[in-house]
Amino acid sequence: MKRLAVYCGSASPEDPRYLELAYDVGAELALRGIGLVYGGGKLGLMGAVARGAKEAGGHVIGIIPEALVRAEVANHDCDELVTVSGMHERKQRFTDLSDGFVTIPGGVGTMDELWEAISWSQLGYHTKPVGILNAFGFYDHLLAFNAKMAEVGFVRPQHQNILIAGETIGDLLAKMAAYQPHTPIFRMKAEEL
């Protein structure tokens, strides 16, 4: 994995562990020689992950919609700051530029990015690993919900291992490196669906 997209929040929660986690994730990617592709913002966890990567000598690509550049939240310290027309183009660029996806804590936008990466993998638009860093148990309920969808039958057995979870960035990256792509829906026969 040469570059990873990191999905995370632009908010700064009161609990300092979240900003520290984002900074540490960025730094760890850089120390492993993995470039960062992220949302291009300077605020919250987004800004922290980019700072961590840059301060550890990493390469940072920010992908930000025009409206957020105009709102003056763009991080102009990125090695590359790509301005796009909107969120759909932003997510496509994440997919085009990265070898996988890491989701750290965030809110609604982060969930949108995560679920789209999973959905696109399931369908066959990409075969890249999709990871979630469940630090501090932040994603316990989401992982339980994902398991419930599989248990009920809304996630096919072939696709139940798309979402890769780890409690530390090292553990998660190791699992992502070992990921074996599944059979996407586009290559399945009707009787397999």
Q: Where are the domains of the chain?
A: 16-98, 99-193
Mean pLDDT score across all residues of the chain:
95
Domains 16-98 and 99-193 share a fold: yes
Q: Which residues are within 8 A (CB) of 177 and not within 5 positions of it... i.e. 6 or more apart?
A: 1, 129
Counts for the chain of helices (H) and strands (E), in that order:
7, 7
**Is residue 98 predicted with pLDDT exceeding 70?**
yes
What is the number of residues in the chain?
A: 193
Q: Which residue has the tokens 């496509």?
A: 92
**Is residue 185 predicted with pLDDT exceeding 80?**
no
**Is residue 192 predicted with pLDDT exceeding 90?**
no
Mean pLDDT confidence for 14-32: 98
Is 16-98 a CATH 3.40.190.10 domain?
no
For the packed helices 169-177 and 17-31, what is the interaxial angle rounded to 10 degrees?
40
Which is more confident, 178 or 191?
178
Mean pLDDT confidence for 154-167: 94
**Is residue 135 predicted with pLDDT exceeding 80?**
yes
Q: Which fold has domain 99-193?
A: Rossmann fold (3.40.50)
